[in-house]
Amino acid sequence: MPSRWMWFRLAAALVALAVLAGCGAGGSPTDVDRAVRTVLDARARAVLRHDEAAFLASVDPTATGFRDSQRQVFGNLVKLPVGSWSYRLQRTDAFPLTSESDAQRRVAAQVELEYTLRGYDTAPVSSVAYLTMTERGGHWYVAAQTDGEPAGRHTTVQPWDQGSLTVVAGRRSLVLGQGGAQRLTGYADLADAAVPVVQNAWRGEWPGRAIVEVPPTEADMAALLGAQPSAYQGIAAVTTAELHGNGSAPADRVIVNPQAFSGLSPLGRRVVLTHELTHVATRTATTPNTPLWLTEGFAEWVGNTGTGQPVQQVAAELRADVRAGRQPRQLPSNADFGSANRGLPQAYEGAWLACRMVAEQWGSGALVRLYRAAGRESADAALRGTLGVGLDQFTARWQTYVARELG
């Protein structure tokens, strides 16, 4: 157990660190935070006013490489229909000191960016940045955005950080990415076609418009999601989600894995994008309470609407299991949808068949009511309230249905 002297030394060290964390113009934490907020507010106004000179005035004039990248970032931002843009300073930390004067010149700032894109976001989308702030000649500047990396914290990468941005506006979609309009137009066409399919299946509170992000590479996709490069290998697309306590949600981003997506057939691309846009549409009704077999199964059911594919083809992996005597005994669990699970295809196919069964035997309206109810109560209670059967009885009926359709 630490001695009283050790506790005293630890407390003193923490106090010293707290003082250093606020060092800057004037010497008090309040002064540094106020100075940093002033710089961040100026950057936000510059974005909203399309004022490049004011935006670059917030950048450290000696950080030439960072300044060049920020010039490109600003050029990317003016291509977007930015509706709001603001920064909120969460904390400032001192850098390890290399000299006594160094504490007066540099701090690391953890900053939350909130923004909306007009016509798409119903609430602000947020991301976190870790900025290096420097003081020169009595003025504070942004000098870099890599300060979280030594502590394992990374600035959330955005499409405008990944090179020259191309923006393609479809009738019902906005596609952001790199590589030129010719590369991205096909994604806008797919999204435009998918939106009415989703709207027909889910009539609700989403705006019927989609934002699709198409990064240059699979590794860039992972960077947009704040994940390791291997995390989404082989996954064609994912949908981000930010639920707010008041029940509203911003327009989610469908983020495409360009390698995996390009390997799909035209029909496969259509199914995948419709699936992801279904997640966008159902977001406000989806809660941690909603079982993934219903979340993913419903999206698969909508995605396969009107494709004309036989059930044996859509559920090929699960069919192989059934014909080999490996009949599923339970509905797919949440854990079954982990990206590392070898039975991931079977989980999606089993979930799809569960929702397909509900639509066939109780009607598509009952399926939508079940989805909404499952976000508020247990799966058993939602099933009883909408279909008149409990979870055990529903599972048994699903097993029979799977055996009949795939046997």
Q: What confidence tens digit (pLDDT) does each residue in 323-377 have?
A: 999 999 999 999 999 877 889 999 999 999 999 999 999 999 999 999 999 999 9
Indicate if the alpha-carbon torsion angle 63, 64, 69, 73 is positive or negative.
Answer: positive
**Phi, psi angles (nearest 5°) of residue 341:** -75, 125
Q: How confident is the model at residue 24 (pLDDT cuts 50, 70, 90)?
A: very low
* pLDDT value of position 153: 62
Fold assignment, 4-156: Nuclear Transport Factor 2; Chain: A, (3.10.450)
Whether 311 has a pLDDT exceeding 50, the answer reads yes
**Which segment of 247-256, 296-305, 339-348 scores lowest on mean pLDDT?**
247-256
Rg over alpha carbons for the chain, rounded to the nearest Å, is: 25
Q: Domain coordinates of the chain in residue numbers? A: 4-156, 157-285, 286-407
pLDDT tens digit string along 135-187?
Answer: 988 899 999 987 655 555 667 789 999 999 999 999 999 999 999 999 999 99
pTM of the model: 0.85
Q: What is the mean pLDDT of the chain?
A: 87
* pLDDT value of position 92: 87
What gap in Å lies between CA 56 and CA 377, rounded to an integer?
Answer: 51
Would you tell me which CATH number, out of the four given (3.40.30.10, 3.30.470.20, 3.40.50.150, 3.30.2010.30), belongs to the domain 157-285? 3.30.2010.30
DSSP assignments along 240-309, one per residue: -----TTS--PPPEEEE-HHHHHTS-HHHHHHHHHHHHHHHHHGGG--TTS-HHHHHHHHHHHHTTT---
Whether 3 has a pLDDT exceeding 50, the answer reads no
Average pLDDT over residues 39-66: 97
Q: How confident is the model at residue 243 (pLDDT cuts 50, 70, 90)?
A: very low
DSSP 230: T
Region at 136 (left for phi over 0; alpha for psi -120 to 50; beta for the rest) = beta
